[in-house]
Chains A and B, each alone.
Chain A
Amino acid sequence: MLNGWIKKSVLSLCIFLGLFAWFGMQPVVADGFYEDDLVIAFLPRSLGNPIFLDAFEAAQKKAHELGVRLEWVAPFDFDSDLQVEMIENLIRRGVDGIVASVNDEEQVHNVFQKAMENGIPVATFDADSPGSGRLFYIGINNYEAGMEIGDALVDVIKSKGLEEETLETMIMTGYREALNLEERIRGFLDATNGEVNLHIADILENEDTVEKSIILLEDYLKINPEVDVIYFVGGWPFYVTSDALPNFRQWAKEGGIAVGIDLFYDALLLQKEGLIQYLIGQDMTSMGSQGLELLVRYIRYGEVPPEIVVTGLEHANETNIDRLLEIHKPWLVK
């Protein structure tokens, strides 16, 4: 009997200690109480670009999970100078870590250095600044993404029997200064070069703004309905329904070929309607979630992450469009 009691006691004690250890290891998350008061600031390229919302939600959840405070700050519109100013103020306010999607790759070098000199580790996501001394980059390989979308376009053109024709092509990007976007263009051009005959008629810059991208697209197609191919380096105009893009819809109906990078529910709807032929998407969720965790673990435990953390690419074409529509939720932001 005594042995039984002892066994029970020891077992209870072990369970208790185990639970105690487990709970002890968990960050105590309560509203207003954070484990070590870490504040991690994310800077997307702009608040007004909905593409970062996946990362935003994921980062919030991860922050809550890790018991850190998340700051998510950016100029509403693309503004390199203001982004740098914000980083300066984050340094002044004494945040514990910074993860930024860089607007101007060279412009941030000095402020990143300043942050690091003040003991604030800096990482990049989505748009990198390789020469800045940042801790790590998390995101897609933008050049490879450009190549993949270029390859996809080649396949589409060949499937339409247009590979011998010279196709007038318009490229829509955010800013020519954005490294990630330029890498996507470079990859695209390298992929299509020699495979199809693309004549790059225009490269439009929408300043990383949804509204401007829509206006530019519609106006361009009004004036240049003869363009054959449009390559969207990012998914800025995809946040609206096709009713808001009548010229684009008409152009697509008349055989215009559009491909783009950024994959989300509204874009998939446009693809489903036939306005877009191929989409490649980034895993923004991982950028937000994993990016935060890697930095927090570095700050807390000194775990040095890999310099480049590649998040995967997602392809959307006519074969999997329906499935993807079920997976991706509507954003309903526009």
Chain B
Amino acid sequence: MRMSFWQVTMKRSVRLSKTYFILGVVMTVYGIILSNVLTFVPANLATPTPVDLTNSFPVLSVALLSLSAVLFSLPVVMLFVYDKNSGVLEYLLSTGLDQLDIFKGYVKASLSLAAYLLVFSTITNSAVGILLGTNLGLLASMGVLTFAIGISEVFLVTVCMMAFSSLQKTPMGANQPLGVVIGVIPMFPALILPLIFPSHAIVIDILIAAVTLIVSLALLLSIGRLILREKLLP
């Protein structure tokens, strides 16, 4: 059966490093615990706090679950650097692919991997929450937020990491962590603003996710045009 470029890339990434997948799953489990932990706190134990913990605390897990998706998809970008250094990208270019085709392939692979984990974490989180009696509305909004922020984060991190890896002169991929740092910057407002404005938490996070997605898409199209084919040579 013939697979498309991004599917093969995704499959190769899974084989490349299992550590990141395990880390991603472990962080997902943490996220699920975090989002449901308040169920165990007796209602009469509530102490006066400057923020509404019952509604805002589970939102913290959105950041954790999104970060786990970033970790889960990191091997795709590691594979990108490896393929650049080993001449695989050079060969792909010679077959008629453009740099944008190549970038898109790795982004699709990265987003697909992230989507698998996010679907898994949303379903598991909802199931656990229903069993423990967590507020259904909260679970639903967390599912939406986790997916929106997670996908947009992964998109931005992947594009940034590929851009930095392509532009650096030494072929070691040492600039990749810069991509992670820049990519997770939108996660901080997505984490803090809902705590300050709990009544607008969902709108704020959806907006941040939408802006991140648009920026990532613009960045992808830009690097596809601005980064020359020669930057993908070993």
Note whether A and B form a binding pair. no
